A and B are shown apart, each in its own frame.
Chain A
Amino acid sequence: MSATEQALVTADAVPLSLQGPAPKRVVAGYGFWLFLLSDIVIFAALFAAYAVLSGETAGGPTAASLFDKQHVLIETACLLASSVTCGFGSLAMQSGERTSTYFWMTITFILGVAFLSLEVSEFAHMLSIGAGPSRSAFLSAFFTLVGTHGLHVTLGLCWLIVMLLQVATLGFQPMVSRRFFCFGLFWHALDIVWVGVFTIVYLGAH
């Protein structure tokens, strides 16, 4: 009988309420999942503000005249690719392969930095032509929404550096593996939010 079959038999025999506390990895993952959902609720509030204010340009530049779709497509590609390399990195982490963990996570980091620098260059360009957050309600909502996402990516990159340092100093301990796992969830969730951003903000502009 394989380990999986054994687990299924135990799961059937003992009701969930009598099985005692769940292992720490499940509890930590579930708690982090709840945090991610509440983070997505914050983004929902910002999306609602953007949806309401996107037409209020106060005579300033409109969404259609500001955004460059090719630029956004490259940003999207960077973030999507980094999501997949992050997945490969966490798989390497689980099977305890140190070199390939470093390899995939470094690529994830580089793609994240590429995304962030594209976003910063877009913001700098908008500020230089006088389309800053104080120009109109539409631009305030835009900078709040996209800026909050960018801030999350920045924090994610800092977290990734800390995780790589912990792998280097502490090794593949269960504690480090749990944190790495939560980082993966965070990074994938940011990609889901970005799908909403590019659809509503960039492609919805007309």
Chain B
Amino acid sequence: MSTEIEAQGKSPGAHVHTQGAHRSYLIGLGYAVVLTLASFWASSTDLVYPPGIPILLGVLAIAQMGIHLVFFLHISSAPDQSNNILALAFGIFVVGLLVFGSMIIMANLNHNMMPMDRLLQMQR
């Protein structure tokens, strides 16, 4: 059964070595705790240049998502995981398109919109 699985690729989250698997969860937990506390600290600190805080938060969040993928969902760059990686890459592409596309389009529309008070004046 196990030889069969390894010969034909792995599903996400599958772990083979039970001994090291507990450690992998604990390492992941350690990283995640550090990154979470860092995000909460960064959101209310005076030490960082204020306009840079959203970027710092974004970096910390993406790092933490990566930690979750590697240590909890056991996604890796191993050749038997190429299907999972490919699907993940497409997922990230769609998410990026959706979020940044919406934000750019809506900001642009907002910019081109007539201010509300002038719009009301014209309707009278």
Residues of A within 8 A of B (CB): 3-4, 6-8, 10-11, 14, 16, 19, 22-23, 25-30, 33-34, 37-38, 40-41, 44-45, 47-49, 51-52, 69, 73, 76-77, 80-81, 83-84, 87-88, 90-91, 94-95, 181, 184-185, 188-189, 191-192, 195-196, 198-200, 203-204
Contacts and interface: CB of A to CB of B under 8 A. Distances in A.
A199 B61 contact: yes
Nearest to A30: B11
Nearest to A47: B99
Nearest to A2: B3
A33 B95 CA distance: 15
Nearest to B106: A52
**Majority SS of interface residues in chain B?**
helix
Contact of A19 (B2, B7, B44): B7
The number of chain B residues touching the other chain, given as a range, is 35 or more
A57 to B, nearest CB: 15
Contacts of A91: 15, 18, 21-22, 25
Contact of B94 (A7, A44, A84): A44
What 5 A-B pairs are tightest by C-beta distance, nearest first?
A29-B11, A37-B91, A48-B102, A203-B43, A7-B6
**Majority SS of interface residues in chain A?**
helix
A14 B43 CA distance: 53
Contact of B8 (A26, A47, A184): A26
Interface of B: 1-16, 18, 21-22, 25-26, 28-29, 32-33, 36, 39-40, 42-44, 54, 57-58, 60-61, 64-65, 68-69, 72-73, 80, 83-84, 87-88, 90-91, 94-95, 98-99, 101-103, 106
Contacts of B102: 48-49, 51-52
Nearest to A48: B102
A76 B42 CA distance: 16
A33 B11 contact: yes
21 contacts: A7-B3, A7-B7, A10-B7, A11-B6, A11-B80, A16-B9, A37-B88, A37-B91, A41-B95, A48-B101, A84-B26, A91-B22, A94-B15, A181-B14, A185-B12, A188-B73, A189-B73, A192-B68, A195-B61, A195-B65, A203-B39
